[in-house]
């Protein structure tokens, strides 16, 4: 009899134990900060974060400035979020230098925070997950130059002046050019990461340069804009972009775009969120993941052609192999 | 048709208008559904977040009362914020930085006033031009990069408190008091009303509308300079695009607050309430985690609703 | 914004007037810029570049032409850029869903027109000043577009549709034909129809216009609806030229359109200005930007130069008219 009674106790005890540990480990709220609502790259980050959270039984809340890339607004959103106290924060700073005070506020409030994409110039982070824009620029440019046989007339279409990604990517482009003395840089003009601007810049560049063999664009939107300009003028050139957006993958499939550097927003979002959640659950985290550059080309585009919602996040063990440290 | 200038505060009953209704409704709404909204920390945040815009909206009220407009304020703010950063970095002095910002702001303000008053260029066009110049200078001076490493004395302005009240709020209150006194209790204030409603009267009185207009626009520039200090303090850096577009928010706040574009009437308190209403809206929406796209649309709806309510009342 | 001292007896219905002289001076200015550029850069005067400039100017012109009518009534439409973005995204979706470019074009025009009509209703029935009404509309449209697009891009349209924006007919880009057509329609409408004359009258003196029996509200609805529809047209050109649409394409379109209207000589006080002037204004703006690209001028200088030109143009205009405040 006694054993039976104990037996009856065991089940509820076990279940209570299970529920309490679950209540502690699940249902965390992760606040995800991205720069704007319009750039498809940040959408991939958000989807990645959502997928990771769902898989780990947590939930995400997204904070995006109503004015794209607005520094004061992101600062205000941080202040508002600190009042709300999410369990943890995954953070892309609108500006890697100017958001310092904001990160400090998060640190002071003792909310754990993971930094992704743009490496913040200051602040304490549980982890950093990002891509190496310099290597992406370098590798993608190297691929184009290799395809051209190391020589030809090249133009660079830059992104937004002063943005960290732009500075590093263009530096990568330029270093790749230095490795190929047969390649000549004709011009380097900003397209502001915008399609229309890149198209018009390309149109104008084609007027002053009758022979352009290669175009290094700092992002996919500008690369596609340049391609439209080329097609409109019945000229051809090899074009590369960076980001690995769906549009770029389609263009690579059809042969219009030579290659795109995979900026991997989905992976950054999901790994960053994973680290944040693991940190909350006292599980080991990886302090720094710098994703190795992957150049998407006609030969390897298949895994990148999968729609975002169907992609899976790398596991923790895989993540450890993905980046340095 | 110009009306005779009215040199008195609008009847309070006539002024429980669009903005107060909207603000009251928002506070009640978010107090009920947004956890943490009514906490002291949060309310303090909202007020502090509104200070920079307030410092732009106050002089904007005066400018709009003179049937003018200043589209350059956001760009000038950005430039003065950069000046504060660069000068305080070089001289290690917050005060010198502030001085530089105010000086640059005053120059642009006076330039605006000169273009409008002396050359007769419509304010929209004149300030659109100075917007471009200020924006261009910001980019050129900084080459698109943030300016960092500024002394702590600048940074502390934003986070320090005076008798428990955050310094930005103190500055905003002081500005409000100054403008209120200026507009309603000095002769200069009556001239501003006259600039909007009855310029001939000024000329008959032997005064120069041109000089007064230049002074009004210069005031806008000076406030942009002070706000520049706050902005740099907030970001702990100077950034070449940080303040762009704020002039539209300021203009919207002035309009939401009840100042008309056409009648030369102005209500400073309404402007401040307008600024706070937008701040409360943004804050509340963040607290209830409404999707950002809905937040964007809400701001537009708020502005339209406030003006609509105002229009209803002034017709009845 | 009204000004008692303005010249009311000028514009409607008469071709050889002070306005024609102003237009002549503006054309002269444009030609001078062309001359300067052809001296400074030997790629300027090529057929290809001139056609590029005309095509680039056409996008600004389509938006600015409708805007001209609004400004003629002493109003303003700040929502045009956001309207282009929403209409482009909507039209793009329709083409993808139905496979019919014709339906897409219709969708873009109708979407733009409805937005314009809503603006008009706010200004006439709700008595909201046009500055604020269209500013509020701008935010609402952005919110709608951001929500609808969710960070995505719509891309990939049938070749036939893309001819509208990138195709050529007898050596001229198709948008240039459209530009000429709408220039003619706009000018004839404004100068030669009763409705056009009524619009000028409303801008010159709204009270007198109402007293003389002009249905002011209806005409205002018309001008805002036209402004919106032209934004819809611009969205089709954009979509077919760039083969894609995103939520933020409108950000950079509004200010140049307003600048074109102002440089073209249309007064913000209403009652003065022409559609042809707006065309020249758009042309001057595009020439300057084209020149800066060809001469590789640092992009940091662009806003500065644009701002100075706007002020200069309006000032010269006022000196010529002998009008001061």
**Residues B82-105 pLDDT 10s:** 999 999 999 999 999 999 999 999
Structure confidence at residue C38 (pLDDT)? 87
* pLDDT-above-90 percentage for chain C: 61
For residue B74, the distance in angstroms to the closest alpha carbon of chain C comes to 14
Averaged confidence pLDDT in chain B: 89
Q: Are residues A256 and A138 in the same domain?
A: yes
Out of A140-144, A202-206, B194-198, B242-246, least confident range = B194-198
Q: Are residues A86 and A143 in the same domain?
A: no
Q: Are residues A67 and A17 in the same domain?
A: yes
Q: Please, which residues have CB within 8 angstroms of residue B181's CB and are 6 or more apart in sequence?
A: none
Q: Is residue A4 in a domain?
A: no
Q: Which of residues 192-211 of A touch C (CB under 8 A)?
A: 194-197, 199-201, 203-208
Q: Which of residues 16-55 of A touch C (CB under 8 A)?
A: 36-40, 42-44, 46
pLDDT digits (tens, 9 = 90+) for B164-181: 899 999 999 999 999 999
Domain that holds residue C88: 18-38+46-320
Structure confidence at residue B15 (pLDDT)? 54
Structure confidence at residue B204 (pLDDT)? 84
For residues C1 and B153, the model is more confident at B153
Please answer yes or no on whether C139 and B303 come within 8 Å at the CB atom: yes
Determine the average pLDDT of the residues in A65-82: 92
- d(C-alpha A260, C-alpha A251), whole Å: 10
Q: Is residue A101 in a domain?
A: yes
Out of A13-27, A72-86, C240-254, least confident range = A13-27
| In the predicted structure, residue A238 carries a pLDDT above the cut 90 | yes
Please answer yes or no on whether C303 and B304 come within 8 Å at the CB atom: no
In which region does residue A7 sit, left (phi positive, over 0), alpha (psi from -120 to 50) or beta (all else)?
Answer: alpha
- d(C-alpha A97, C-alpha C224), whole Å: 43
| In the predicted structure, residue A8 carries a pLDDT above the cut 60 | no
Give burial (CB, 10 Å; 0-12/13-18/19+) of C58.
Answer: buried
The nearest alpha carbon in chain A to C166 belongs to A232
Closest CA to A216 of A194, A238, A244, A192: A238
Under the banding of pLDDT at 50, 70 and 90, the label for residue B281 is very high
Determine the average pLDDT of the residues in A64-71: 91
Structure confidence at residue B13 (pLDDT)? 47
Structure confidence at residue A26 (pLDDT)? 77
Which residue has tokens 């607004």?
A: A73
Structure confidence at residue A1 (pLDDT)? 43
For residue B287, give the nearest of A37, A62, A83 by CB distance. A83
Out of A24-38, A251-265, B166-180, B228-242, least confident range = A24-38
Structure confidence at residue A24 (pLDDT)? 47
The token duo for B148 is 């960092």
Determine the average pLDDT of the residues in C166-174: 88
CATH number for the domain spanning C249: value is: 1.10.3470
Structure confidence at residue A16 (pLDDT)? 53
Q: Is residue C73 in a domain?
A: yes
The token duo for B70 is 């200043």
* φ, ψ of residue B72 in degrees (nearest 5): -90, -5
Please answer yes or no on whether A228 and C242 come within 8 Å at the CB atom: yes
pLDDT digits (tens, 9 = 90+) for A23-50: 445 789 999 999 999 888 999 999 999 9
pLDDT digits (tens, 9 = 90+) for B193-210: 888 877 788 888 888 888
- d(C-alpha B101, C-alpha B77), whole Å: 9
For residues B307 and C61, the model is more confident at C61
- For residue B84, the SS3 value is helix
Q: Is residue C8 in a domain?
A: no
pLDDT digits (tens, 9 = 90+) for C127-149: 899 999 999 999 999 999 999 99
Structure confidence at residue C175 (pLDDT)? 93
Closest CA to B77 of B50, B115, B107, B105: B105
Structure confidence at residue C1 (pLDDT)? 43
DSSP string for A123-182: S--SEEEEE-HHHHHHHHHHHHHHHTTT-EEEEEEE-STT-HHHHHHHHHHHHHHHH-TT
Structure confidence at residue B164 (pLDDT)? 86
- For residue C244, the cross-strand partners are C155
The token duo for C37 is 């550029």
Please answer yes or no on whether C136 and B303 come within 8 Å at the CB atom: yes
- Any B CB within 8 A of C275 CB: no
- Any A CB within 8 A of C153 CB: yes
Query: How many folded domains does chain A comprise?
Result: 2
- For residue B166, the cross-strand partners are B161
Structure confidence at residue C7 (pLDDT)? 43
- Best mutation site among A67, A68, A202, A232 for testing chain C: the one with the most C CBs within 10 Å? A232
| In the predicted structure, residue A21 carries a pLDDT above the cut 50 | no
pLDDT digits (tens, 9 = 90+) for C200-213: 999 999 999 999 99
Determine the average pLDDT of the residues in C33-45: 87
| In the predicted structure, residue A325 carries a pLDDT above the cut 60 | no
Q: Is residue C2 in a domain?
A: no
Please answer yes or no on whether C140 and B300 come within 8 Å at the CB atom: yes
| In the predicted structure, residue B273 carries a pLDDT above the cut 90 | yes
pLDDT digits (tens, 9 = 90+) for C60-118: 999 999 999 999 999 999 999 999 999 999 999 999 999 999 999 999 999 999 999 99
Q: pTM higher than 0.95 for the full model?
A: no
For residues A53 and C317, the model is more confident at A53
pLDDT digits (tens, 9 = 90+) for C269-304: 888 899 999 999 999 999 988 888 888 787 788 888
Q: Are residues A226 and A201 in the same domain?
A: yes
- Any C CB within 8 A of B136 CB: yes
Q: Is residue C4 in a domain?
A: no
Under the banding of pLDDT at 50, 70 and 90, the label for residue A12 is low
Q: Is residue A302 in a domain?
A: no
Q: Is residue C80 in a domain?
A: yes
For residue C140, give the nearest of B116, B256, B297 by CB distance. B297
Q: Are residues A47 and A127 in the same domain?
A: yes
Structure confidence at residue A23 (pLDDT)? 44
- Any A CB within 8 A of C303 CB: no
- SS3 letters across chain C: CCCCCCCCCCCCCCCCCHHHHHHHHHHHHHHHHHHHHHHHCCCCCCHHHHHHHHHHHHHHHHHHHHHHHHHHCCCCCCCHHHHHHHHHHHHHHHHHHHCCHHHHHHHHHHHHHHHHHHHHHHHHCCCCCHHHHHHHHHHHHHHHHHHHHCCCCEECCCHHHHHHHHCEECCEEHHHHHHHHHHHHHHHHHHHCHHHHHHHHHHHCHHHHHHCCCCHHHHHHHHHHHHHHHHHHHHHHHHHHHCEECCCCCCCCHHHHHHHHHHCCCCCCCCCCCHHHHHHHHHHHHHHHHHHHHCCCCHHHHHHHHHHHHHHHHHHHHHHHCCCC
| In the predicted structure, residue B10 carries a pLDDT above the cut 60 | no
For residue C38, the distance in angstroms to the closest alpha carbon of chain B comes to 25
Structure confidence at residue C10 (pLDDT)? 45
Query: How many folded domains does chain C comprise?
Result: 1
Under the banding of pLDDT at 50, 70 and 90, the label for residue A161 is confident
Best-predicted range by mean pLDDT among A115-124, B151-160, C109-118? C109-118
CATH number for the domain spanning A217: value is: 3.40.50.2300
Structure confidence at residue C224 (pLDDT)? 97
- For residue A121, the SS3 value is coil
Q: What residues of chain A lie within 8 A of the CB of C243, using their CB?
A: 224, 228
Domain that holds residue A170: 133-262
Please answer yes or no on whether A83 and B144 come within 8 Å at the CB atom: no
- For residue A216, the SS3 value is strand
Please answer yes or no on whether A161 and C299 come within 8 Å at the CB atom: yes
Determine the average pLDDT of the residues in B279-308: 91
* pLDDT-above-90 percentage for chain A: 64
Under the banding of pLDDT at 50, 70 and 90, the label for residue C260 is very high
Structure confidence at residue C318 (pLDDT)? 80
């Amino acid at each position: 009899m006694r054993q039976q009674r104990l037996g009856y106790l065991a089940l509820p005890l076990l279940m209570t134990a299970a529920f309490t540990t679950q209540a502690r480990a699940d249902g965390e709220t992760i606040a995800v900060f991205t720069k704007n609502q319009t750039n498809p790259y940040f959408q991939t980050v958000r989807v990645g974060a959502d997928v990771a959270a769902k898989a780990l039984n947590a939930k995400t809340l997204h904070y995006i400035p109503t004015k794209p890339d607005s520094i004061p607004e992101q600062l205000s959103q941080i202040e508002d979020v600190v009042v709300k106290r999410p369990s943890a924060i995954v953070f892309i700073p609108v500006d890697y230098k100017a958001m310092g005070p904001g990160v400090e506020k998060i640190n002071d409030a003792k909310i754990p925070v993971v930094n992704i994409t743009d490496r913040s110039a200051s602040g304490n982070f549980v982890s950093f997950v990002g891509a190496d824009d310099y290597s992406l620029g370098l590798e993608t440019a190297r691929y184009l130059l290799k395809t051209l046989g190391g020589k030809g007339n090249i133009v660079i279409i830059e992104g937004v002046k002063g943005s960290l990604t732009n500075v590093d990517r263009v530096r990568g482009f330029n270093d790749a050019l230095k490795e190929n003395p047969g390649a000549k840089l004709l011009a380097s003009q900003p397209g502001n990461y915008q399609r229309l601007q890149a198209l018009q810049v390309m149109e104008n560049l084609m007027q002053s340069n009758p022979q352009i063999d290669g175009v290094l664009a700092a992002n996919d939107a500008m690369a596609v804009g340049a391609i439209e300009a080329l097609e409109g003028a019945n000229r051809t050139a090899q074009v590369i972009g960076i980001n690995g957006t769906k549009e770029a993958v389609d263009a690579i499939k059809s042969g219009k775009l030579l290659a795109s550097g995979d900026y991997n927003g989905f992976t950054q979002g999901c790994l960053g969120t994973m680290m944040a959640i693991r940190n909350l659950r006292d599980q080991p985290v990886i302090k720094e993941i710098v994703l190795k550059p992957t150049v998407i080309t006609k030969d390897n585009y298949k895994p990148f052609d999968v729609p975002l919602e169907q992609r899976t996040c790398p596991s923790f063990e895989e993540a450890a192999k993905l980046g340095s440290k | 048709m110009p009306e005779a200038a009215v040199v008195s505060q609008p009847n309070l009953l006539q002024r429980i208008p669009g903005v107060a209704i909207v603000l009251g409704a928002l506070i009640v709404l978010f107090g009920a559904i947004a956890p943490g909204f009514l906490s002291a920390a949060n309310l303090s945040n909202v007020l502090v977040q509104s200070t920079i815009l307030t410092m732009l909206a106050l002089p904007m009220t005066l400018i709009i009362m003179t049937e003018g407009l200043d589209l350059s304020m956001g760009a000038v703010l950005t430039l003065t914020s950069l000046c504060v950063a660069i000068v305080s970095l070089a001289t290690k002095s917050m005060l010198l930085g502030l001085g530089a910002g105010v000086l640059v702001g005053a120059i642009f303000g006076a330039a605006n006033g000169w273009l409008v008053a002396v050359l007769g260029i419509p304010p929209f066009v004149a300030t659109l031009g100075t917007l471009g110049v200020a924006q261009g200078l910001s980019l050129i001076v900084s080459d698109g990069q943030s300016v960092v490493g500024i002394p702590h004395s600048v940074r502390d302005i934003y986070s320090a408190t005076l008798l428990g009240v955050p310094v930005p709020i103190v500055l905003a209150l002081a500005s409000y008091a100054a403008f209120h006194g200026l507009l309603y209790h000095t002769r200069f204030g009556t001239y501003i009303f006259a600039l909007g409603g009855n310029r001939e009267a000024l000329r008959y009185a032997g005064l120069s509308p041109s000089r007064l207009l230049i002074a009004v626009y210069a005031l806008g520039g000076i406030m942009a300079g002070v706000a520049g200090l706050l902005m740099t303090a907030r970001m702990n850096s100077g950034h070449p695009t940080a303040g762009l577009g704020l002039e539209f928010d300021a203009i919207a706040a002035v309009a939401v607050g009840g100042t008309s574009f056409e009648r030369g009437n102005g209500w400073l308190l309404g402007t401040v309430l307008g600024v706070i209403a937008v701040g409360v809206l943004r804050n509340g929406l963040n607290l209830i985690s409404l999707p950002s796209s809905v937040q964007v649309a809400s701001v537009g709806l708020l502005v339209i609703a406030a003006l609509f309510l105002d229009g209803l009342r002034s017709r009845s | 914004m009204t000004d008692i001292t303005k010249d009311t007896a000028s514009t409607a219905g008469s071709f050889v007037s002070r306005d024609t002289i102003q237009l002549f001076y503006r054309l002269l200015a444009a030609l001078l810029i062309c001359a300067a550029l052809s001296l400074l850069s030997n790629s300027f005067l090529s057929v290809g570049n001139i056609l590029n400039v005309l095509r680039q100017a056409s996008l600004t012109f389509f938006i600015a032409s409708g805007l001209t009518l609004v400004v003629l009534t002493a109003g303003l439409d700040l929502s045009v850029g956001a309207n282009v973005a929403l209409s482009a995204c909507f039209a793009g979706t329709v083409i993808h869903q139905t496979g019919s470019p014709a339906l897409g074009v219709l969708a873009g025009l109708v979407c733009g027109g409805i937005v314009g009509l809503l603006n008009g209703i706010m200004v006439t029935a709700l008595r909201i000043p046009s500055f604020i009404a269209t500013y509020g509309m701008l935010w609402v449209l952005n919110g709608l577009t951001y929500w609808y697009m969710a960070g995505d891009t719509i891309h990939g349209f049938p070749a036939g549709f893309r001819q509208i924006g990138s195709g050529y007919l007898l050596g001229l880009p198709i948008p240039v034909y459209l530009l000429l057509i709408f220039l003619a329609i706009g000018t004839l409408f404004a100068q030669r129809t009763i409705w056009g004359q009524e619009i000028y009258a409303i801008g010159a003196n709204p009270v007198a216009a109402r007293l003389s029996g002009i249905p002011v509200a209806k005409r205002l609805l018309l001008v805002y609806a036209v402004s919106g529809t032209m934004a819809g047209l611009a969205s089709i050109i954009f979509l077919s030229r760039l083969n894609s649409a995103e939520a933020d394409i409108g950000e950079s379109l509004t200010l140049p359109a307003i600048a074109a209207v102002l440089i073209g000589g249309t007064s913000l006080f209403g009652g003065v200005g022409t559609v042809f002037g707006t065309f020249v204004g758009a042309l001057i703006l595009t020439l300057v930007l084209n020149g800066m690209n060809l001469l590789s001028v640092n992009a940091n200088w662009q806003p500065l130069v644009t701002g100075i030109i706007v002020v200069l143009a309006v000032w010269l205009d006022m000196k010529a008219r002998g009008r001061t405040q």
